[in-house]
Amino acid sequence: MILLGAVTNAAAVFVGGITGLLMKKGLPKRFGDSIMHALALFTFGLGVAFFMKSQQIMIVIASLLLGTLIGEIIDIEKRLESLGNSLQSKVKGVGGSFSEGFVTASLLFCVGSMAIMGSLQSGLSANHEVLYAKAVMDLVAALIFAAAMGLGVAMSAVPVLIYEGSLSLLASVASPYLSNAVVDEMTAVGGVLLMGLALSILEIKKIRVGNMIPGIFLPIIIMLFMK
């Protein structure tokens, strides 16, 4: 089922949000930090496993270099941050804590490289591992945020489902036109990005993973020219 990853992620956000409301004070910070660190290590390992799928390492390198160059020129991360700041400023004081919690959580769970990579992975190969890992992370985050911001956090499960579900369906439509070799190289590039994301979560090194996202799509073009 192509939408299984997106549905699981949305359900995790909703359950985490409702649990946070019931707990009131939320999860103790040290527990939340330890869980996130454990999941970051899992994400790094998953990235290594995806990277090992590559059969043509030079395609991965070229895709990462060119993709990062494109992403830096566009400055994807800065644009996403600006979008988030703009939306948050518009709802502050307008709809109370519900609106603020809804918008903040929606951005947190949707605007990120893991949501994009996981959705693409689900659509291209029906592999939901990335979205499953993200679901556990989001459950913990939703629990903590809902305790402070209220019901709006739990309701952000709706845009999460729409966003990730749409990306998964679009990827599934394109998958019949992509060979297994192309999908493997796209997966390998995504694996490298997951490793970078894990390093950022662990606060080892802040990496602008969002600016590397274009690299995921470049194996399609590079391998087309290689034929």
Percent of the chain with pLDDT over 70: 86
What pLDDT is recorded for position 85?
Answer: 63
Average pLDDT (10-26) is: 86
Mean pLDDT value of segment 32-50: 82
Instruction: For residues 128-150, give the mean pLDDT.
Output: 87
What are the structure tokens assigned to 20, written together?
């946070």
Question: How far does CA 100 lie from the centroid of its chain?
Answer: 21
Residue pair 194/44 in contact (Cβ under 8 Å)? The answer is yes
Q: Exposed, middle or buried: residue 34 (CB in 10 Å: 0-12, 13-18, 19+)?
A: exposed
> For the chain, how are helix, strand and coil distributed in percent, rounded to 5?
85, 0, 15
DSSP structural state of residue 208:
-
pTM passes above 0.95: no
> What pLDDT is attached to residue 97?
63
Instruction: Give the model confidence (pLDDT) of 48-99 as tens digits.
Output: 988 998 999 999 999 999 999 999 998 887 776 676 566 556 655 544 567 7
- The confidence score (pLDDT) of residue 80 equals 66
Single-letter code of the amino acid located at 58: M
pLDDT of residue 113 exceeding 90, the answer is no
Residue type, 174: A
Tell me if 75 sits within 8 A of 130, measured CB to CB: no
Token pair 């949000």: residue: 17
Helix, strand or coil for residue 10? helix
